């Protein structure tokens, strides 16, 4: 079923084939969307170009450090030139200095707090602002978040605070962009073993904890994030905006 046939999308946050962005991009592609990708820095260029090449040799792959306004502007200028318009935008980007993801939150430095919020939360505002003018037929903006935004997850620390800012930003953006038929939602994913996840101290323990305590007694699969991302991008979710949708084997409902 090609529920995203004719849709044009832009994906931020593929680092490798384990990336959540890659799982969602594959699902969007299988549902009929045509996609462009960005990567951060030369280090990832080849990797992302190789993955994106699976969608056709002419797949657009552009550099973008989301902390740089001029790079963001250039990405949307080039996507505008190539696609003419845009329907889907995936924000699957986060970063906090490693030392801020160990030990106690109280020791978070001003700089680590700033960087985590700049990369992981403000970037959604910047991308939505540049992307919205291309979404002339309406659109769906999707960001990845985590439960540490609302409850204390030891050692997730400043990333939890940045995810809270990301989720709140999604709500304010949903309000601003609603009249243009542009929806903004977050998927709150259970833990998935990716490059970024390995930067969180005790991540293996988190996986085990979910298996033991989530109602479904297992961890979420990347393809399940792809399927949820496809639903939120589709017309089936036309009346859903500003929401955080939990794709976490049910973990979020538990009180004990």
> Which residues are at the interface with ligand NAP (CB under 6 A)?
13-15, 19-21, 40-41, 44, 64-67, 92-95, 119, 144-146, 189, 191-192, 194-197
Beta bridge partners of 242: none
CA-to-CA separations, 72 to 39, 156, 175, 215, in angstroms, rounded: 11, 28, 22, 40
Nearer to ligand NAP, 14 or 184 (CB): 14
Place of tokens 């979910």: 210
Q: CA 166, CA 122: separation in Å to the nearest integer?
A: 7
Angle at CA 218, nearest 5°, toward 12 and 245? 45
Closest contact distance (angstroms) between CB of 238 and ligand NAP is: 24
Place of tokens 């939120």: 232
Of 253, 178, 241, which Cα lies nearest the Cα of 210? 253
Task: State both tokens at 120.
Answer: 């992981």
Q: CA 222, CA 194: separation in Å to the nearest integer?
A: 10
Task: State both tokens at 246.
Answer: 């939990």
Residues tagged active-site: 146, 156
Closest contact distance (angstroms) between CB of 181 and ligand NAP is: 25
Q: CA 186, CA 212: separation in Å to the nearest integer?
A: 25
Q: CA 57, CA 53: separation in Å to the nearest integer?
A: 5
């Amino acid at each position: 079923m090609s529920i995203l046939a004719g849709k044009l999308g832009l994906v931020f946050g593929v680092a490798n084939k384990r990336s959540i962005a890659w799982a969602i991009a594959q699902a969007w592609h299988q549902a009929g969307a045509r996609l462009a990708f960005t990567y951060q820095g030369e280090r990832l260029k080849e990797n992302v170009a190789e993955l994106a090449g699976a969608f056709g040799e002419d797949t657009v792959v552009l550099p973008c450090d989301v902390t740089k306004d001029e790079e963001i502007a250039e990405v949307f200028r080039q996507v505008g030139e190539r696609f003419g318009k845009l329907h889907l935008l995936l924000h699957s980007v986060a970063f906090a200095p490693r030392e801020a993801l160990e030990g106690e939150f109280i020791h978070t430095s001003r700089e680590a707090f700033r960087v985590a919020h700049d990369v992981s939360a403000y970037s959604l505002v910047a991308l939505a602002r540049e992307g919205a003018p291309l979404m002339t037929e309406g659109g769906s903006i999707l960001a990845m978040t985590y439960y540490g935004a609302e409850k204390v997850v030891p050692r997730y620390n400043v990333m939890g605070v940045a995810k809270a800012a990301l989720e709140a930003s999604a709500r304010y953006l949903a309000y601003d962009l609603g009249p243009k038929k542009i929806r903004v939602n977050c998927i709150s994913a259970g833990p998935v073993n990716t490059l970024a996840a390995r930067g969180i101290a005790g991540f293996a323990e988190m996986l085990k904890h979910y298996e033991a305590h989530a109602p479904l007694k297992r961890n979420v699969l990347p393809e399940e994030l792809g399927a949820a991302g496809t639903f939120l991008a589709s017309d089936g979710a036309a009346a859903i905006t500003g929401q955080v949708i939990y794709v976490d084997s049910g973990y979020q409902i538990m009180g004990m």
